[in-house]
Amino acid sequence: MAQSLAGVGPFFGYFALALLFEFLFAAAYTAITPYHEIALIREGNIAAATSLTGSLIGFSLPLAKAVAQSAGLIDMFLWSLLGFIAQLVAYAVVRLALPHLVIDVKEGKQASAILLAGASIAVGLVNAAAMTL
């Protein structure tokens, strides 16, 4: 029983840091987008929900890999930071490729939001796979 409980302390450390990173990522992501996702989502804008959800999943994939493989909290922090940056770059690239992305999301157009969500998830998958020790 004591052996089973030995991991509780590290679990809370990793889990708390991961939740903090999720919050910081969501705050940074919504700050760099020129539309207000949460307000749009509250109004029922599915495109805003799709794009934000895709970015959160895209970030969570490398974050989960960082939690699983890290040798310590600092190691996890550094790997998670790479995932964080990769997602912001993914948004920037999609925005360059789709100059009308901002208007489309505000207007609830799904095509652009789905592409952004898919790109975010794809980058997250590749990012997580590339994390090796």
Query: Do 66 and 131 contact (CB within 8 A), yes or no?
Result: yes
The per-residue pLDDT for range 74-117, each reduced to its tens digit, is 999 999 999 999 999 999 999 999 999 999 999 999 999 999 99
Provide, for the chain, the percentages of residues in helix, strand and coil under a 3-state DSSP scheme, each rounded to the nearest 5. Answer: 85, 0, 15
Q: What is the pTM of this model?
A: 0.90
Higher pLDDT, 3 or 80: 80
Query: Do 112 and 98 contact (CB within 8 A), yes or no?
Result: yes
How many separate domains does the chain show?
1
The per-residue pLDDT for range 38-84, each reduced to its tens digit, is 999 999 999 999 999 999 999 999 999 999 998 898 999 999 999 99
What is the chain's alpha carbon radius of gyration, rounded to the nearest angstrom? 16
pLDDT value for 133: 64
Q: Give the residue numbers spanning the domain of 114.
A: 2-130
Residue 24 and residue 131: Cα distance in Å, rounded?
21
